[in-house]
Amino acid sequence: MCNKKILIAEDEKPKKDHVSKFLTDNFYADHLYSSSVNSTIIVIEDEEPDFIILDMSLPTFDLSDRANGGRPQGFGGKAVLRHMKLARIKIPVIILTGYEVFKLDEGNKLVSEHMDLAQLKEELVCLFHDNFIDIIHFSSTNNNWQKSLHSMLKIYIPEVIK
């Protein structure tokens, strides 16, 4: 049995369940889970996963009955990648997002008010080339994301393929 670890950083349970089932059905690897920027950073530092499947939109903190998760972050995945870069943590990361377009916040200097996946990929390659691999669009209505993710895992941790 392979002892590789794949971190799924996702705050939406249905999407997390889809990804987890896909991984269980196709790969030999332990699954780690996180659901916020802070918990993802903690899992990365404590567990040292071999591969990360990262949602772009994550809350600052985990949601609970008593906490609302803090400020929603449309680019929470970038905060995780930024931390990895500053801490010199080198783990391959795939962004798996259900969004095709991201609304930019007021601090962004781009001309447009929105950023599509191609523009986001270009920025992430430039800023986080040591970790960032690609962006995959997730949809619960088709399996294209599964084919893309399978291809990436086959390249970066081939020993986990069933």
pLDDT tens-digit map of 42-100: 999 999 999 999 999 898 877 654 555 455 556 789 999 999 999 999 999 999 998 77
The pLDDT mean for the chain works out to 87
| Predicted pLDDT at 98 | 85
In CATH terms, 5-160 corresponds, of 3.40.50.2300, 1.10.630.10, 3.20.20.210, 3.30.2310.20, to 3.40.50.2300
The torsion defined by the Cα of 2, 133, 117 and 24, in degrees rounded to 10, comes to 0
Contact 31, 6 (CB under 8 A): yes
Give the predicted TM-score (pTM) of the model. 0.87
pLDDT at 61: 77
Note the pLDDT of residue 65: 47
Select the more confidently predicted residue: 2 or 70. Answer: 2
Phi, psi of 161 (to 5 degrees): -70, 130
Residue 101 has pLDDT above 80, yes or no: no
Q: Residue 35: its pLDDT value, please?
A: 93
